[in-house]
Amino acid sequence: MRDSSSNGNFSQFKGVFAGCASAFVGIGLMSAVVNVLYLTGSLFMMEVYDRVLPSRSLPTLVALLGIVVVLYAFQGLFDALRGRLLVRIADRLDQALSPRIYDAIVGLQLQVPISARYAQPLRDLDTIRAFLSGSGPTALFDLPWLPFYIAICFAFHFWLGVTALAGAIILACITLLTELVSQRPVEEAARHSSKRNRMAESGRRNADVISVMGMGPHLRRRWQEENRAFTREQRQASDISSGFGVLSKVLRMMLQSGILAVGAWLVINEQATPGIIIAGSILSARALAPVDLAIANWKGFIGARQSRRRLQKTLALLPDAIDRMNLPAPSSTLSVDRVSALPPETTEAVLQDVTFTLEAGTGLGVIGASGSGKSSLARLLVGIWRPARGAIRLDGATPDQWPAAALARHIGYMPQSIELIDGTVAENIASFDPDAGPDDIIAAARAARVHDLIVSLPEGYSTEVGENGRPLSAGQKQRIALARALYGNPFVVILDEPNSNLDSEGEEALTSAILSVRERGGIVIVIAHRPSALLAVDKVLMLAAGRQQAFGPKDEVLSKVLRQTTGNPGALKVVQSAEAAKA
């Protein structure tokens, strides 16, 4: 499967550039014109030395100068145009891939192996765009004209061509050596940069714990070690690139002097005219300038190439979106048939052979000790993970038969860890739906009994929350997240530890919300440690070590749990919860 998706994403890259084929053809034609016009300086010098000076003709000089000015103007125009075209191609690449990149940034946290989360798709895209917008591609477009200039040197004189060809071969070897030597430091610098940024972001997110627990000096020392490794590899890569760049520049100047010396020798032996000396020197310098520029941009070229490879691998990990036919909204059953869960990058199942069926209007409580697989079941039910075996069905259809956007309207989810996204309270409740109406948002807030809390905020529903917004307590976040899960009256509502941060008022609101979902014909699944979350459910599922131990009416299952306390490490906690819930 990975091969096919990789091919699909390679085609995606190829398709973007294929769409710019006419632009690349235009750049190639303009490069041809520019490189031909680069002959202007050398031919002008040759004419001045061979015609104007011997004839002392000012009209000829003025005419030649006028022609040169016009040719230089066209050269500048075409050079600027191809640079602007490359910037447009980079923008097109960004516009075509940026939506997919955003999906990858979000999806990597859910659907792919843990190691892939360390990819940096957005930074890789920026690297590719920066290279395409720079001077590196123009050097690559000019490189094929190297034989053309050397051929003209041979046309001037055989030994001038031999000298230029020898210089070109030496510089080509330097270019190859630059590629071989600089590849590893650039790769290592990118790896250390990624790890350094992850450590800094982790420190930012956990600043309070780091400060209180005195972890700052220890984590700072680890970050400094990674930062030193990054700067060391970056310094090595820069030293290699600049060193070979200086070497190529020195050799190019030496070659110009060598061309002058060979030209002077030919003039002394009356085998060439004085104009050929200057023209050959200018022409050889122009012939090798793209090589010099390519070596100077080689670090950027390697970085862009590595970013493209990483980006293709990253995008290949996410399945391509498939057009699905919209199905009728589910309204009767949720069935789980012998489902097993296998988290990404693991070989051991965390959930095995879970089976149950829920009818409309049912409330299910899922209990069990820590590590029994409760949150894994929630991830399966909401579609974050796909079952390794078995099937989950809504009214007989598996969730992947719905379009993703349509399925999201039928499932409400409140995760165990609550984070609100930068935006207003109203936007968070409506899941940032641009077509959300005030009535629907307020209805969800009232269903969660959080309307009064929201209107007490300084800006009410327009209060900015999230990382850069108003700081809310954990309980306030949890109640707003409950309203978000209830928005739009989804058929299935899954609440993972919904009362972990709630006070008595919040727990009453939670119970009321669960009952309201059941009354309107929805299904509620509550994953709970605290017994108060089970007050409004009528069925209970007990998990232990990833396996289903009991499922059925609440009183029946809780009575069974109370009798089976031996041999279960989490038995005491489950028993206490069961007793309280039953009471």
pTM: 0.67
Highest mean pLDDT among 141-145, 263-267, 458-462: 458-462
The pLDDT of residue 70: 92
30-65 burial, b at 16+ Cβ within 10 Å, e below that, comes to bbbbbbebbbbbbbbbbbbbbebeeeeeeeebeebe
pLDDT at 549 over 60: yes
**Angle, helices 474-486/438-447, rounded to nearest 10 degrees:** 120
Tell me if 561 sits within 8 A of 574, measured CB to CB.
Answer: yes
pLDDT, residue 382, reads: 84
Task: Say if residue 365's pLDDT is above 80.
Answer: yes
pLDDT of residue 395: 86
Closest CA to 43 of 286, 282, 288: 282
What is the average per-residue pLDDT within 342-360?
A: 82
Q: Residue 384's pLDDT is what?
A: 79
- The pLDDT score that the predictor gives to residue 369 is 81
Residue 2 binned pLDDT confidence (cut-offs 50, 70, 90): very low
Tens-digit pLDDT profile for residues 497-542: 888 777 788 888 888 889 999 999 999 999 887 666 788 888 888 8
The Cα–Cα gap between 456 and 432 comes to 22
Grade residue 19 by pLDDT with cuts at 50, 70 and 90: low
Query: How confident is residue 459, by pLDDT bands cut at 50, 70 and 90?
Result: confident
Question: According to the model, what pLDDT value does residue 40 have?
Answer: 83
| pLDDT score recorded for residue 116 | 47
Q: What is the pLDDT of residues 406-420, one digit of tens each?
A: 888 888 888 888 878
Enumerate the domain spans of the chain.
3-317, 333-566
Is pLDDT above 60 for 9?
no
Residues 512 and 520: their CA atoms lie apart, in Å, by 12
Write the CB contacts of 574 (distance below 8 Å, at least 6 apart in sequence).
367, 368, 369, 542, 561, 565, 568
Query: Is pLDDT larger for residue 466 or for residue 520?
Result: 520
Tally Cβ neighbours within 10 Å of residue 154.
Answer: 15
- Give residue 5's Cα distance to chain centre: 17
Spatial CB neighbours of 576, under 8 Å, sequence gap ≥ 6: 531
According to the model, what pLDDT value does residue 212 have? 64
Reported confidence tier of residue 24, pLDDT bands at 50, 70, 90: confident
The stretch 369-376 carries a mean pLDDT of 82
Q: For 333-566, CATH number?
A: 3.40.50.300
| Helix, coil or strand: residue 547 | strand
**pLDDT of the residue at 340:** 87
Position 468 pLDDT exceeds 60:
no
Residue 307 pLDDT > 70, yes or no?
A: yes
Q: Write the pLDDT tens digit of every residue in 26-53.
A: 888 888 888 888 888 778 877 887 788 7
Coil, helix or strand for 366? strand
Q: Please report the pLDDT score of residue 442 as a whole number.
A: 92
- The token duo for 371 is 């590590």
pLDDT at 108: 65
pLDDT band at 57 (very low <50, low <70, confident <90, very high): confident
CA dist 564 and 553 (Å) reads 17
Q: Convert the pLDDT of each residue in 430-458 to its tens digit.
A: 888 888 888 999 999 998 888 988 898 88
pLDDT at 113 over 60: no
Per-residue pLDDT of 148-207, as tens digits, reads 888 888 887 888 888 888 887 887 787 778 777 877 887 788 778 778 877 877 777 677
pLDDT exceeds 70 at position 400:
yes
- The fold for domain 3-317 equals ABC transporter transmembrane region fold (1.20.1560)
Q: Please, what is the average pLDDT of the chain?
A: 79
Percentage of the residues of the chain whose pLDDT score is greater than 90: 4
Interstrand relation of 464-465 and 423-424 (parallel, antiparallel or unpaired): antiparallel
Give me the count of residues in the chain: 583
- Write the DSSP string, 79-104: HHHHHHHHHHHHHHHHHHHHHHHHHH
